[in-house]
Amino acid sequence: MFQVEYNQDAQTLFLSGNFDTQRAEEVKEVLEKVDSSITIDMSDLDFICSAGIGVMILAYRKLKEQGKDICLINLNEHIKKVFKVSLLDKVFNIQ
């Protein structure tokens, strides 16, 4: 089961389950409302597809234009590898 939980006070987005094409629009809607730097906690995320990566890139570009940042935290080894292979580990702030 995929879950998106957004804590607006802490500007943290929690993702869990499989971030696939069917879920991309849900995350996109949340990220479109963000107007400050945000942390995305992926500790419970099992999978991310290219559509999910695309949503992350769109949010990154929007926030960068505003002088804001996205920090990705708690990536499992599989998701870290996806970001590394696509060279997005050089773009995103991954901790």
- pLDDT tens, per residue, the chain with 95 residues: 556 777 777 789 999 999 999 989 999 999 998 888 999 999 999 999 999 999 999 999 999 999 999 999 999 999 999 999 999 999 999 99
Beta bridge partner(s), residue 94: 72
pTM of the model: 0.89
Predicted local distance difference test score (pLDDT) of residue 3:
67
Predicted local distance difference test score (pLDDT) of residue 84:
96
Measured between alpha carbons, how far is 95 from 84 in angstroms, rounded to an integer?
Answer: 13
Phi–psi pair at 3, nearest 5 degrees: -135, 140
Going by DSSP bridges, is the β-strand pair 38-48/12-19 parallel, antiparallel, or unpaired?
A: parallel
Quickly list DSSP for 32-44: HT--S-EEEEEEE
What are 62's two structure tokens? 């929007």
